[in-house]
């Protein structure tokens, strides 16, 4: 009897242990399943974070570098690789950018950890706005550096300052002359002879005309550059445009005993706005007459090239220094700065008019050997093959 009781107890314990073991196995399977689920979620979250980080770094237009405490590159975004070169990872910063001011910038950032430090740097003929900030975790220190290329912004800002300075200079001369003439005329109106008063009044009118012309050209250039002045391209006979631009200037050339010749092929049609194209040619010819010595020669020619026509205005004047050629089409730029002759906007207007026609302008010149300005216009119809 006791033996059967012991056997029963043993069987019960075995059954209990088996049940408990199955329960533990079930719990283990559940824990493993949950762990696998959490692992999957963690991998997805990490992958999403990596994609988000990669997208953000690619979206940043500035060059972005993440450095370790030894200033070796841990990460560089595409903008950094485009600016500084490929394979930046693990390179020392100063081997990538040999700029002592950059090391000073990072030292300053070390002193004010967590705050952004900025500095303007020049490197490889570029100007950068550099920003550095230091981040420190429990185990590591990271240096984050961004470089924004502001070279073009600086150039535009310099051009803006030059433009304001040039406008001020161009306006101040006629305004001063008008003021002095008007004051003299008022103070001496009774004493002066009518001929003298008329001469001063004519001088005032001339300066007013200069101001009016300057203001009009500034306005026109602004409208052309902004696209607000309509350019209507229609098939137009090239010779009519050229002669309409040249003929009004012939009396001016005759006053300087200059010879102006025109050689333009007949029956050539170009896509052009007659008014604006005529103005561009007139500005080029007027420029040649103005700067060519008395008795000089100005030649206006046109030649077909592929799907366009090249118009050339050549003179045998003093020429343009090689250093000034790249800037000759800039607004208000004048080769002889000590000589006030014109507004300095004529060639800039030519450039923008021709650009609006889908063409291009350029200049060739040698000092003491003359200058040739070129402008191209698109043909309205291609010449037939011979």
pLDDT band of residue 254 (cuts 50, 70, 90) is very high
Residue with the two structure tokens 């040649």:
288
Query: What's the mean pLDDT when you consider all of the chain?
Result: 80
Q: What is the pLDDT of residues 148-205, one digit of tens each?
A: 888 887 777 777 666 666 666 667 677 777 777 777 766 665 555 666 666 777 777 7
The Cα 151–Cα 158 span in angstroms is: 11
Q: What is the pLDDT of residues 319-332, one digit of tens each?
A: 999 888 888 888 76
3-state secondary structure of 223: helix
Q: Does 338 score more than 50 pLDDT?
A: no
Q: Which of 173, 177, 156 is nearest to 343 (CA)?
A: 173
Q: Does 385 score more than 60 pLDDT?
A: no
The Cα 312–Cα 301 span in angstroms is: 5
The Cα 40–Cα 37 span in angstroms is: 5
The Cα 157–Cα 100 span in angstroms is: 26
Residue with the two structure tokens 């207007």:
349
**Segment 70-86 mean pLDDT:** 82
Between these two residues, 236 and 169, which has the higher pLDDT value?
236
Which pLDDT score is estimated for 187? Answer: 67
Half-sphere exposure of 212 (CA within 13 A, CB side): 6
């Amino acid at each position: 009897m006791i033996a059967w009781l012991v056997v029963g107890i043993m069987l019960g314990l075995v059954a209990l242990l088996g049940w408990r073991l199955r329960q533990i196995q079930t719990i283990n399977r559940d824990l493993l399943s949950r762990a696998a689920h959490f692992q999957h979620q963690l991998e997805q979250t990490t992958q999403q974070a990596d994609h988000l980080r990669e997208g953000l770094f690619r979206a940043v237009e500035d060059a972005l570098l993440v450095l370790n405490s030894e200033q070796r590159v841990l990460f560089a975004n595409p903008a950094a690789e485009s600016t500084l070169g490929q394979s930046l990872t693990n390179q020392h910063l100063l081997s990538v950018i040999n700029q002592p001011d950059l090391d000073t910038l990072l030292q300053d950032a070390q002193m004010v950890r967590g705050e952004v430090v900025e500095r303007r740097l020049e490197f490889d003929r570029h100007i950068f706005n550099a920003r550095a900030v230091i981040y420190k975790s429990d185990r590591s220190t990271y240096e984050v550096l961004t470089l924004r290329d502001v070279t073009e912004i600086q150039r535009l800002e310099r051009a803006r300052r030059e433009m304001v300075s040039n406008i001020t200079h161009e306006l101040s001369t006629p305004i001063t002359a008008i003021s002095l003439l008007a004051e003299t005329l008022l103070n001496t109106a009774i004493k002066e002879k009518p001929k003298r008063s008329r001469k001063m009044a004519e001088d005032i009118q001339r300066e007013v005309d200069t101001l009016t012309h300057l203001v009009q050209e500034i306005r026109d250039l602004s409208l052309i550059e902004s696209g607000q002045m309509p350019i209507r391209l229609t098939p137009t006979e090239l010779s009519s445009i050229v002669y309409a631009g040249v003929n009004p200037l012939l009396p001016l050339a005759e006053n300087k005993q200059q010879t102006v010749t025109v050689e333009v092929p007949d029956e050539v049609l170009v896509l052009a706005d007659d008014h604006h194209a005529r103005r561009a040619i007139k500005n080029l010819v007027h420029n040649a007459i103005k700067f060519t010595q008395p008795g000089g020669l100005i030649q206006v020619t046109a030649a077909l090239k592929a799907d366009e026509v090249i118009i050339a205005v050549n003179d045998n004047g003093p020429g343009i220094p090689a250093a000034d050629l790249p800037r000759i089409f800039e607004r208000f730029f004048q080769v002889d700065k000590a000589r006030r002759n014109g507004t300095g906007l004529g060639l800039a207007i030519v450039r923008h008019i021709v650009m609006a026609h889908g063409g291009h302008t350029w200049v060739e010149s040698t000092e003491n050997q003359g200058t040739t300005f070129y402008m191209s216009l698109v043909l309205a119809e291609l010449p037939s093959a011979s």
